[in-house]
Amino acid sequence: GAGVSQSPSNKVTEKGKDVELRCDPISGHTALYWYRQSLGQGLEFLIYFQGNSAPDKSGLPSDRFSAERTGGSVSTLTIQRTQQEDSAVYLCASSSRDRGLNEQFFGPGTRLTVL
Amino acid sequence: QKEVEQDPGPLSVPEGAIVSLNCTYSNSAFQYFMWYRQYSRKGPELLMYTYSSGNKEDGRFTAQVDKSSKYISLFIRDSQPSDSATYLCAMSAPDYGQNFVFGPGTRLSVLP
């Protein structure tokens, strides 16, 4: 079956521009995560959606970052007024369980380069 | 001190070698310990997980957790060139909700 998909796969933008990154989770998965992966760094948690509950935004690094999830499915991560330090791979993951170990299935990521 | 430490490598070994990958951590509340494998330009995929302490074996892969030392390991026997990837450890604690803490990953190259 289809896995987690993300678009675009690559995005090059100029400093100060806004960008939108999209994530299509696995159908039926209630949980959705956004992570950022920089060179030599681990995955940095950004935000977590679970069903209709209020999202856990505790990982968002600044108010320039926001995310929404429409209809409990597709999610969009928006970065406003991008900075060069925002350059990274942005990974989305989804999972179907909310107890015990919830295996997260990752998408291929969006590689963002801010010039 | 970071919550999870992992040698970034790169680690190069000949085909057939036994590989040992390790992570140390500082939070004694961690209960789930996971290893993810990430091929170049791909997202991570769950390789193995262990709950609390002990060993777990799956084919050529063995995961070990030593909670007293706050140390986890992944062993790969008879390594293959297809094992060449970045291996990330990840951990979770009950008070972290659904969030994992990831190590930076170790890049492994298995040379034919």
Instruction: Determine whether the interchain pair B102/A4 forms a contact, defined as Cβ–Cβ distance below 8 Å.
Output: no
* pLDDT above 70 for A98: no
Question: What pLDDT was estimated at residue B24?
Answer: 96
Percent of chain B exceeding pLDDT 70 equals 95
Residues near B111 by Cβ (< 8 Å), separated by ≥ 6? B12, B13, B14, B15, B81
Round to whole Å and give the CA distance between B69 and B46. Answer: 24
Q: Is B44 on the interface with A (CB under 8 A)?
A: yes
What number is the average pLDDT over the span B2-6? 87
Tell me, what DSSP letter sits at residue A56?
A: B
Question: What pLDDT was estimated at residue B7?
Answer: 87
Percent of chain B exceeding pLDDT 90 equals 70
Render pLDDT for A73-86 as a digit per residue (tens, 0 to 9). 899 999 999 999 99
The band of B98, judged by pLDDT with boundaries at 50, 70 and 90, is low
Q: Which of A89, A99, A90 is nearest to A31 (CA)?
A: A99
SS3 assignment, position A70 = helix
Q: Is B59 on the interface with A (CB under 8 A)?
A: no
H/E stretch holding B91 reads strand B85-92
User: Could you tell me if B112 and B81 are in contact, meaning their C-beta atoms sit under 8 angstroms apart?
Assistant: yes
Question: What pLDDT was estimated at residue A72?
Answer: 76
Render pLDDT for B48-96 as a digit per residue (tens, 0 to 9). 988 888 899 999 999 999 999 999 999 999 999 999 999 999 998 876 6
Nearest CA in chain B to A43: B102
User: Could you tell me if A81 and A18 are in contact, meaning their C-beta atoms sit under 8 angstroms apart?
Assistant: yes
* pLDDT above 70 for A94: yes
In chain A, alpha helices (H): none
| Higher-scoring residue by pLDDT: A112, B99 | A112
Chain A 27-46, residues with CB within 8 Å of chain B CB atoms: 31, 33, 35, 40-43, 45
* pLDDT above 80 for A99: no
Q: Which of B40, B34, B49, B35 is nearest to B10 (CA)?
A: B40
How many helices (DSSP H) and strands (DSSP E) are in chain A?
A: 0, 10
Query: Residue B23: what are its φ and ψ, rounded to 5°?
Result: -140, 145
Instruction: Determine whether the interchain pair A42/B103 forms a contact, defined as Cβ–Cβ distance below 8 Å.
Output: yes
Render pLDDT for A18-75 as a digit per residue (tens, 0 to 9). 999 999 999 988 889 999 999 867 789 999 998 888 898 989 999 999 999 988 789 9
Measure in Å the smallest separation between the Cα of B106 and chain A Cα atoms.
9
Question: What pLDDT was estimated at residue B6?
Answer: 92
* pLDDT above 60 for A15: yes
* pLDDT above 60 for A100: no
